[in-house]
């Protein structure tokens, strides 16, 4: 499997919903930093985002209402 295991990812976030949101935002940042690589398929933004989350490179916090 190319992406990290779900149980490893869930150690970094509080819910699957949070995991999806954090992954999508990080993937958009990766695409913005290297749009040519994303278009050609040289990089896989979602896979890289999941690896960053597992490695603890991505921080998130929940906003208070």
Phi then psi for residue 34, to 5 deg, are -145, 75
Query: pTM, whole model, 2 decimals?
Result: 0.84
What the block records as the tokens of 29 is 């940042």
Query: How would you class 20 by CB atoms within 10 Å of its CB: exposed for 0-12, middle for 13-18, buried for 19 or more?
Result: exposed
Distance separating alpha carbons of residues 24 and 45, to the nearest angstrom: 9
| Whether pLDDT at 16 is above 70 | yes
- The helix/strand/coil state of 41 is coil
pLDDT digit string, tens, across residues 17-60: 999 999 999 999 999 998 888 888 888 999 999 999 999 998 88
pLDDT band at 3 (very low <50, low <70, confident <90, very high): low
| Whether pLDDT at 65 is above 80 | no
Which residue reads 């958009």 in tokens? 28
């Amino acid at each position: 499997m190319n992406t990290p295991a779900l149980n490893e990812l869930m150690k970094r976030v509080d819910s699957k919903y949070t995991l999806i949101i954090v992954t999508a935002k990080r993937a958009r940042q990766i695409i913005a930093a290297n749009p040519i690589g994303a278009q050609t398929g040289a990089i896989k933004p979602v896979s890289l985002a999941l690896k960053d989350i597992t490695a603890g490179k991505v921080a998130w916090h929940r906003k208070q209402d």
